[in-house]
Amino acid sequence: MNTKFKKLNLPILSFSILLLVLLGASCSKEKNKTIAYNSPETIPVSRKMIAELTSPPNVPKPTGKRKAKNLIVNMEILEKEGEMTDGVKYVYWTFGGTVPGSFIRTKIGDEIEFHLKNHPDNKLPHNIDLHAVTGPGGGATSSFISPGHEAKFSFKVLNPGLYVYHCATAPVGMHIANGMYGLILVEPEEGLPDVDKEYYVMQGDFYTKGGNGDRGLQPFDMKKAVNEDADYVVFNGKVGSLTGDNAITANVGETVRLYVGNGGPNLVSSFHVIGEIFDAVYVEGGNFINKNVQTTLIPAGGAAIVEFKVDVPGTFILVDHSIFRAFNKGALGMLKVQGDENKTIYSGKQEEGIYQPEGGGIQEMPIEKGVVNTEGIATTFEEKMEYGKATYMQTCFACHQAEGQGIPNAFPPLAKSDYLNENLNRAIDIILNGKTGEITVNGEKYNSVMTKQDLTNEEISNVLTYVYNSWGNSKKEVTPAMVMSRRNIH
């Protein structure tokens, strides 16, 4: 090879070597990045940071693109009396003083330094099992503490997702049933996509010695719990926790993300928002994202993340679509959305007509001439009360409840109702024609909808006689003729 040829190709050779070196360095970086992503236990932490903990329905600020930290979580266990619903007290066992417990937000690779304190006024030992922990008992074996003591243990979060935590002290089901559960979120390295609003909603089932609505301090009933016979199924620890003034809010055009958990201890949740479709569901809180979902199943001890954009204003109802739980046991919440209407998406009521389904309930054989149909016609006051109660339990019970107590912030009470007792004709008119708009009952404002009822004059007279002669009301007796006179006016 001559010298001239060497001189001509030396720069080319040098450039090739440099390119190979750079490519090797780049591949090495990409390889290291892949190792870090697939092996989160190797992610280094940069410094200590106190975790922000929030009470439901609030969540801490997103982690964004921050580096992994030595995250210090301080949590106190409190046994405290609270209100399950109006007039019903219950002693909750809590993480952080609320049911569900404080929301914990972390990032993959964080090293968690967990401080669990059992308040000295508590009566029982407790611990914590975090489903986000890789280790014996999810931390339960390291955190068992008596009242007045503190436990400290550490773990590294290795898997992104939304996880349940709960007490795992025997009897485990009893501790969970008394409210000892919450959620811990592990965000991926890049964080979650930005949304406008985030909220924390967690379902639980409760078992009391008294029946649903029985007043006073109600103790836990182990037999009902074993039989999975829940008196209350609620969001965020009590009936009405997410209704009325406690409703969560958003504006038209915003994207809402709900972190939804199910503490159980027994029942699976069929989570649904009436009037919305979930644009995205992180199924069981993991990586798989399902699209355009109407209702998502959340197992006891499980969670899901749901996201949707709100396009029109109004009140959207959160329910467990095992629907008697929503309207009879308390699993009902509200998302109130403000903003401009969009008639293209939703017009509102445009026209009302007559709808007659072909169900067996309205198909009757002709009555033979000379035969009088006396079925359901009361001839005594006692029969009016008997037939009225039957109609009430079939038609009114779901909203107004067995003892006329109603559902706080949703449906008004009929028991000792000043609104009801003030005007009998108004009560008849509401059954005949329905009622929309705000009313005040016993000093509380309600703004729900009462649909008109397809009942006969006899049925209306019986059910109103039953209501007026129950639960401390004014003991009026309503006749079919009184109902007919109001029906003729309209």
CA–CA gap between residue 148 and residue 384 (Å, rounded) = 60
**Pairing verdict, β 197-206 and 255-264:** parallel
User: What CATH number is attached to the domain comprising 442?
Assistant: 1.10.760.10
Can you give the pLDDT at residue 488?
85
In a domain, 16, yes or no: no
Map tokens 């969560």 to a residue: 248
Residue 272 in marked binding region? no
Residue 142's alpha-carbon distances to 50, 182, 381, in angstroms, are 21, 19, 66
The amino acid present at 306, given as its one-letter code, is: V
Based on the domain organization, do 212 and 326 belong to the same domain? yes
In a domain, 40, yes or no: no
By CB atoms closer than 10 A (0-12, 13-18, 19+), residue 330 is buried
Of 187, 214, 232, which marks where a domain is finished? 187
Can you give the pLDDT at residue 23?
44
For the chain, 490 residues long, the average pLDDT of each consecutive 10-residue run is 42 44 44 52 92 98 94 98 93 98 97 97 96 94 95 97 97 97 97 97 97 91 96 96 94 98 98 97 96 98 98 95 93 95 83 40 40 60 89 79 85 93 93 88 86 85 94 94 88
Helix ranges, 145-269 (H): 172-177, 222-226
Based on the domain organization, do 178 and 153 belong to the same domain? yes
In a domain, 175, yes or no: yes
How many domains are contained in the chain? 3
Based on the domain organization, do 144 and 58 belong to the same domain? yes
Based on the domain organization, do 106 and 235 belong to the same domain? no
CA–CA gap between residue 209 and residue 217 (Å, rounded) = 10
Based on the domain organization, do 117 and 52 belong to the same domain? yes
Based on the domain organization, do 464 and 446 belong to the same domain? yes
CA–CA gap between residue 109 and residue 114 (Å, rounded) = 15
Can you give the pLDDT at residue 319?
96
Residue 385 in marked binding region? no
In a domain, 226, yes or no: yes
Burial track 275-301 (b if 16+ CB lie within 10 A, e otherwise): ebebebbbbbbbeeeeeebeebebebb
Based on the domain organization, do 204 and 152 belong to the same domain? no
Of 147, 169, 187, which marks where a domain is finished? 187
Residue 126 in marked binding region? yes
In a domain, 11, yes or no: no
In a domain, 19, yes or no: no
Based on the domain organization, do 271 and 383 belong to the same domain? no
Locate 129 and state its tokens: 């099992």
Based on the domain organization, do 61 and 82 belong to the same domain? yes
> What residue numbers bound the domain in which 477 lies?
378-489
The secondary structure of residue 95, as a DSSP letter, is E
In a domain, 280, yes or no: yes
Can you give the pLDDT at residue 14?
47
Of 338, 360, 392, which marks where a domain is finished? 338
Based on the domain organization, do 478 and 408 belong to the same domain? yes
Based on the domain organization, do 204 and 331 belong to the same domain? yes
SS3 272: strand
Residues 6+ apart with CB under 8 A from 265: 173, 176, 177, 204, 205, 225, 300
Residue 166 in marked binding region? yes
Q: How many CB atoms lie within 10 A of CB 21?
A: 10
Burial track 94-119 (b if 16+ CB lie within 10 A, e otherwise): bbbebbbbbbbbbbbbbbbbbebbbe
CA–CA gap between residue 20 and residue 5 (Å, rounded) = 22
Assess contact for 130 and 142: CB atoms under 8 A: no
Residue 167 in marked binding region? yes
Instruction: Of 235, 247, 202, 223, give the one whose Cα is nearest residue 104.
Output: 202
Assess contact for 459 and 467: CB atoms under 8 A: no
Provide the CA 103 distance to its chain's centre, in angstroms.
Answer: 15
The amino acid present at 476, given as its one-letter code, is: K
In a domain, 4, yes or no: no
SS3 181: strand
Based on the domain organization, do 202 and 334 belong to the same domain? yes
Instruction: Of 262, 332, 388, give the one whose Cα is nearest residue 85.
Output: 332
Residue 119 in marked binding region? no
User: What CATH number is attached to the domain comprising 121?
Assistant: 2.60.40.420
Map tokens 């992180």 to a residue: 282
